């Protein structure tokens, strides 16, 4: 690691290297960024990864496909159910398993709750990065309700392993439905407060407007997806672009921005909360009765030889699983395309020439979850 | 012996003043530390400290004891003498301004003719302490905090002084007691609202409080200039910060809020201090309130705000005041 510093340190330019992380308060995990500074302007940035690498993809090559489900939740601990969803869907596609309708509804409701939970945490943590201490407590207050609801039905609060191949592990009950409806109502009533306290604040506007501007072209070059891409005006959301599960049945909008700066992605994420609430409401209204598990899923699930892909919209962008099978019950190769990894790769270009404070706001806008980068 | 007897009253005065100063500084830190944590808690919908004593009122005492008992960690490559000196420089000068603040008609250390100058001179020593602390820590984050602090405090001293100068022109004196007394019918906040606003903004920036807490912006600079400080040397910085808040709020009270004027109480020459402290702590409450509400500004925006808005406006305000004083 000392070598990176030597490469960057250049006495001719009167620049010096600031080591940000792996224990810096605003990298939100064990991410390390080397900043080559001139005054307070960051001229070069170098993200250093690998502090939390756990070989998830390699682990997948060594055990039966069904038993990899808990690992998916450990990649993105904030979007665990969505990661479950992608993986369950991958195996169902590969093995040709039909999923009961009620299961699809349960998956959509819980996934959207998970997405709201992730966005709320980002909302609080991002504002904490910008120096506002209070909103994180309000956001956590709301988020706590989701964790309670999901704990009741899944048994865990963060790293869920709720979805199974062909179904879900436990049925939802009336209590879940009533508390989810109550939560939808509650969060709606809190939006004006957030707007009032945070979104319209002139200091926040000055901090975020015109900072970290991205163009659709840049996003395409780096493979950036999710709210950052939608902030540039491209309405690309896997739930619409390649409708999976039963998302095509629901009426919801894809919020987009125009400028592609931090403020645009901030507002996109904020409006996505409302859209997720709409999906949850519609799904609760149309929730059918029925089984929660396909009866004929073999214990030892053999995947026919071939390549399989499954993409879902994670809170931070497009998540893809790519499975290569040789016909056995252990994958030959499982490749996971996680959104934060691609989103992080734009940092050196996006943050070039920025003030140190802007680097913090720009990196916060990426909503990085480090275990998803180092997986 | 004779000289001793003639000096004795002076010595007693000095001892009493020192004791009162210490009581104010430490008492204020206790009250403010508790109030800050409790108010921050309630602003965030949580109760704040609750464990030690009823509603956690002994929390700050326990914290103080803990900080005294902690090891003083000096970084390996730090400039040790300067590193140890910086907290003392931050803390020691805060006693002097307290001497000239007129808490009430009779409660005042010295009524100096240059009271305001004394306060401003000693309050700005704090910048030196931050610079030394940040430099001697031998940490890039600390250095950043120190550099920001110097630029910020030097810039914001100008509008602060100019806004106070408008009052000086109206009252023709630097003596704080006479300035407070000059507001008997109307407080200067009514006559000089712009100067008051400018002073409040500059006051927040001078004390390095959010939203202008850039020298210690923890999400960017971990803890800014006091990243490497621990235990008592850290708490001296905190004590100094709270004492500085008390001083700038006292100045605001004297200059704009009529000092100790209020509804007359018995023995008003002494009991005026109640009104004085009430006004000071209301201002402090305001400082805490905005700290826990707003995000932090960016450094260039902060400096632009000072040079492009505060200084021109305070100069205009001064000009208008001078013309009005001349005319009336």
Nearest Cβ partner of A207 from B140, B222, B298? B298
The reply to whether A283 touches chain B by the CB within 8 Å rule is no
pLDDT score of A16 more than 70: yes
CA distance B206 to chain A (A): 18
What distance lies between CA A211 and its chain's CA centroid?
22
Q: Which one is predicted more confidently, B269 or A195?
A: A195
Contacts 24+ apart (CB under 8 A), A268-272: A268/A227, A268/A230, A268/A231, A269/A119, A269/A122, A269/A123, A269/A227, A269/A367, A270/A119, A270/A123, A270/A194, A270/A199, A272/A115, A272/A119, A272/A227
What's residue A206's pLDDT? Answer: 87
The residue count for chain B: 328
pLDDT per residue as tens digits for the range B28-48: 888 888 888 888 888 888 888
Structural domains of chain A in order of their starting residue, each with its CATH number: 56-338 (1.10.645.10)
Name chain B contacts of A262, Cβ cutoff 8 Å: none
Name chain A contacts of B218, Cβ cutoff 8 Å: 25
Collapsing DSSP to helix, strand or coil, A335 comes out as strand
pLDDT band at A2 (very low <50, low <70, confident <90, very high): very low
CA distance A45 to chain B (A): 15
What's residue A280's pLDDT? Answer: 92
B298 vs B317: CA distance, rounded Å: 27
pLDDT per residue as tens digits for the range A57-115: 889 888 888 888 888 888 888 888 999 999 999 988 888 888 888 898 999 999 999 99
Nearest CA in chain B to A364: B219
The number of distinct structural domains making up chain B is 1
pLDDT score of A1 more than 50: no
B88 vs B92: CA distance, rounded Å: 6
Report which secondary-structure segment, H or E, holds B294: none
Nearest Cβ partner of B222 from A16, A24, A203? A24
A54 and A374 in contact (C-beta within 8 Å)? yes
Which among B145, B115, B124 is positioned nearest to B133, based on CA atoms? B145
pLDDT band at A26 (very low <50, low <70, confident <90, very high): confident
Encoded tokens for A186: 């509650």
pLDDT per residue as tens digits for the range A242-279: 888 888 888 888 898 888 888 998 999 999 999 999 99
Burial of residue A354 (number of CB atoms within 10 Å: 0-12, 13-18, 19+): buried
What's residue B316's pLDDT? Answer: 92
The mean pLDDT value for A215-239 works out to: 89
Report A:118-137 residues touching B (Cβ under 8 A): 127-134, 137
The reply to whether A36 touches chain B by the CB within 8 Å rule is no
Q: What is the dihedral of CA B299, B301, B304, B309, to 10 degrees?
A: -130
A179 vs A149: CA distance, rounded Å: 7
Rg of chain A, C-alpha, whole Å: 21
Name chain A contacts of B296, Cβ cutoff 8 Å: 130-132, 203, 207, 357
Collapsing DSSP to helix, strand or coil, B181 comes out as helix
The mean pLDDT value for A165-187 works out to: 89
Pair type for strands A317-325 and A163-164: unpaired
pLDDT score of B109 more than 80: no
Nearest CA in chain A to B144: A40
B139 vs B154: CA distance, rounded Å: 23
Nearest Cβ partner of B296 from A16, A130, A355? A130
A19 and A32 in contact (C-beta within 8 Å)? yes
Size of interface A-B (CB pairs under 8 A): 76
Nearest Cβ partner of B299 from A40, A129, A141? A40
Nearest CA in chain B to A142: B45
Which among A103, A133, A19, A64 is positioned nearest to A323, based on CA atoms? A64
What's residue A117's pLDDT? Answer: 92
pLDDT score of A3 more than 50: no
Nearest CA in chain B to A139: B44
Q: Where are the alpha helices (DSSP H) in chain B?
A: 2-43, 59-69, 80-91, 95-100, 115-123, 125-136, 140-171, 176-181, 188-191, 193-206, 218-221, 231-256, 268-291, 299-304, 311-327
CA distance A80 to chain B (A): 27
Encoded tokens for B213: 């807490």
Nearest Cβ partner of A132 from B141, B218, B294? B294
Q: Give the orientation angle of helix B231-256 with respect to helix B59-69, to 10 degrees.
A: 130
CA distance B44 to chain A (A): 6
Contact yes or no for A357 and B222 at CB 8 A: no
Report A:148-187 residues touching B (Cβ under 8 A): none
The reply to whether B222 touches chain A by the CB within 8 Å rule is yes
The reply to whether B294 touches chain A by the CB within 8 Å rule is yes
Burial of residue B328 (number of CB atoms within 10 Å: 0-12, 13-18, 19+): exposed
The reply to whether A5 touches chain B by the CB within 8 Å rule is no
The mean pLDDT value for B183-209 works out to: 85
Contacts 24+ apart (CB under 8 A), B9-14: none
- Report pTM: 0.86
Q: Domain of B264?
A: 2-327
Q: Give the orientation angle of helix A262-285 with respect to helix A356-365, to 10 degrees.
A: 20
On the CB side of A91, CA atoms within 13 Å amount to: 26
pLDDT band at A9 (very low <50, low <70, confident <90, very high): low
What's residue B105's pLDDT? Answer: 74
A275 vs A285: CA distance, rounded Å: 16
B96 vs B24: CA distance, rounded Å: 12
pLDDT score of B269 more than 80: no
Q: Which one is predicted more confidently, A33 or B264?
A: A33
Nearest Cβ partner of A203 from B291, B297, B299? B297
Degrees to nearest 5, angle at CA A159 with A153 and A164: 60
pLDDT band at B234 (very low <50, low <70, confident <90, very high): confident
pLDDT score of A10 more than 70: no
Encoded tokens for A150: 């999901």
The reply to whether A207 touches chain B by the CB within 8 Å rule is yes
Nearest CA in chain A to B209: A131
Name chain A contacts of B292, Cβ cutoff 8 Å: 133-134
pLDDT band at B228 (very low <50, low <70, confident <90, very high): confident
Which among B162, B124, B127, B125 is positioned nearest to B148, based on CA atoms? B127
Nearest CA in chain B to A359: B220
E strand intervals along A89-166: 163-164
A272 vs A313: CA distance, rounded Å: 12
Name chain B contacts of A198, Cβ cutoff 8 Å: 295
The mean pLDDT value for A155-160 works out to: 88
Contacts of B270 (CB under 8 A, 6+ apart): B104, B105, B106, B107
């Amino acid at each position: 690691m000392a070598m990176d510093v030597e490469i960057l340190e250049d006495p001719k330019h009167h620049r010096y290297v600031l080591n940000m992380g792996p224990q810096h308060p605003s990298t939100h995990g064990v991410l390390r960024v080397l900043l080559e500074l001139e005054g307070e302007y960051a001229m070069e940035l170098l993200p250093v990864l690998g502090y939390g690498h756990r070989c998830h993809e390699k682990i997948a090559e060594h055990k039966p496909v069904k038993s990899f489900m808990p690992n998916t939740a450990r990649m993105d601990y904030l979007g665990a159910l969505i990661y479950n969803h992608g993986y369950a869907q991958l195996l169902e596609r590969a093995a040709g398993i039909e999923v009961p309708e009620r299961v699809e509804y349960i998956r959509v409701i819980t996934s959207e709750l998970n997405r709201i939970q992730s966005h709320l945490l980002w909302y609080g943590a991002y504002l904490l990065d910008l120096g506002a201490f209070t909103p994180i407590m309000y956001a956590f207050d709301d988020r706590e309700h989701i964790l309670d609801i999901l704990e009741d039905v899944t048994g865990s609060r963060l790293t869920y392993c709720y979805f199974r191949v062909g179904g879900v592990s436990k049925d939802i009950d009336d209590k879940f439905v009533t508390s989810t409806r109550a939560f939808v109502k509650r969060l709606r009533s809190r939006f004006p407060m957030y707007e009032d306290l945070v979104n319209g604040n002139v200091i926040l506007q000055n901090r975020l407007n015109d900072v970290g501007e991205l163009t659709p072209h840049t996003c395409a070059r780096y493979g950036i997806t999710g709210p950052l891409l939608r902030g540039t005006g491209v309405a690309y959301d896997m739930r619409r672009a390649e409708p999976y599960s039963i998302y095509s049945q629901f009426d919801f909008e894809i919020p987009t921005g125009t400028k592609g700066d931090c403020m645009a992605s901030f507002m996109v994420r904020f409006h996505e909360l409302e859209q997720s609430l709409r999906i949850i409401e519609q799904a609760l209204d149309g929730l059918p009765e029925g089984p929660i598990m396909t009866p004929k899923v073999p214990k030892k699930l053999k995947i026919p030889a071939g390549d399989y892909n499954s993409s879902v919209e994670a809170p931070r962008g497009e998540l893809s699983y790519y499975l290569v099978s040789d016909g056995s019950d252990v994958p030959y190769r499982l490749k996971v395309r996680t959104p934060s990894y691609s989103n992080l790769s734009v940092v050196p270009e996006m943050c070039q020439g920025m003030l140190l404070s802007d680097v913090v706001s720009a990196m916060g806008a990426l909503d990085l979850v480090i275990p998803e980068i180092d997986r | 012996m004779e000289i001793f007897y003639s000096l004795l009253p002076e010595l007693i005065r000095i001892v009493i003043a020192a004791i009162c100063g210490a009581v104010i500084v430490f008492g204020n830190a206790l009250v403010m530390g508790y109030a800050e944590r409790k108010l921050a808690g309630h602003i965030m919908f949580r109760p704040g400290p609750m464990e030690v004593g009823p509603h956690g009122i002994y929390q700050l005492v326990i914290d103080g004891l803990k900080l005294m008992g902690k090891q003083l960690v000096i970084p390996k490559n730090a400039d040790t003498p300067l590193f140890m000196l910086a907290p003392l420089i931050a803390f020691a000068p805060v006693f002097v301004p307290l001497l000239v603040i007129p808490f009430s008609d009779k409660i005042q250390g010295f009524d100096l003719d240059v009271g305001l100058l004394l306060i401003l001179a000693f309050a700005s020593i704090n910048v030196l302490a931050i610079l030394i602390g940040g430099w001697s820590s031998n940490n890039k984050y600390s250095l950043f905090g120190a550099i920001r602090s110097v630029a910020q405090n030097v810039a914001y001293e100008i509008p602060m002084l100019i806004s106070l100068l408008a009052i000086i022109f109206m009252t023709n004196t630097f003596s704080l007691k006479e300035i407070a007394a000059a507001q008997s019918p109307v407080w200067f906040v009514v006559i000089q609202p712009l100067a008051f606003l400018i002073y409040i903004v500059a006051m927040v920036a001078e004390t390095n409080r959010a939203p202008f807490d850039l020298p210690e912006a923890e999400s960017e600079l971990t803890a800014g200039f006091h990243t490497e400080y621990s235990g008592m040397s850290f708490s001296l910085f905190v004590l100094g910060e709270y004492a500085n808040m008390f001083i700038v709020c006292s100045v605001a009270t004297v200059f704009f809020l009529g000092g100790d004027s209020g509804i007359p109480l018995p023995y008003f020459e002494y009991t005026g201090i109640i009104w004085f402290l009430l006004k000071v702590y209301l201002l402090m409450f305001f400082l805490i309130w905005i700290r826990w509400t707003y995000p932090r500004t960016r450094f260039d925006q902060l400096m632009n705000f000072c040079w492009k808005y505060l200084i021109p406006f305070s100069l205009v305000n001064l000009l208008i005041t001078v013309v009005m004083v001349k005319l009336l």
